[in-house]
Amino acid sequence: ALVLRRPELIQPNEREIIAQLQTAHSDLKSAIELAQQFASLVRQRLSEQFDAWLNKAKNSSVSLLRSFAVSLESDYDAVKAGVTMSVSNGPVEGHINRLKMLKRQMYGRAKIDLLERRFLLAI
């Protein structure tokens, strides 16, 4: 989490921790740099840099990064659209998740009329 935090939110003592981690092992340095680049790329929607990052990650010495890159590449069009487009279905997914949670809480406890009122109060 510390590595993926926005650079402007990292405290000086946390920067020292990251620097110590990077000097401890060369693979860890590579993993931290690639993770930070990916977070920046997604946050700033730098789709033109995605392909270069993907190639770096696939050629990384860290097996977890390689497998992550392969999984991104297997769904390349969706990932590229996610990095490129500003629209998101996140709010809709949040509503669906909340309604499913309410449904699970009420399972076996109420009939449809009470469930309907609970849904309407939640919205």
Which whole number is the average pLDDT over 78-85? 86
Do 70 and 103 reside in the same domain of the chain? no
Write down the pLDDT at residue 89. Answer: 81
In a domain, 61, yes or no: yes
Query: Which residues form the domain of 21?
Result: 7-84
* Residue count of the chain: 123
Which whole number is the average pLDDT over 52-79? 92
Q: How far apart are CA 70 and CA 49, in angstroms?
A: 17
Gap between the terminal Cα atoms of the chain: 32
Do 80 and 20 reside in the same domain of the chain? yes
User: Please, what is the average pLDDT of the chain?
Assistant: 87
How large is the angle between the packed helices 76-84 and 26-43, nearest 10 degrees?
60
Six-digit token pair at 106? 């009420």
- Residue 46 burial (CB count, 10 A): 15
Label residue 68 by pLDDT band (50, 70, 90). Answer: very high
Checking if the pLDDT of 82 tops 70, the result is yes
In a domain, 1, yes or no: no
Name which residue leads in pLDDT, 114 or 38: 38
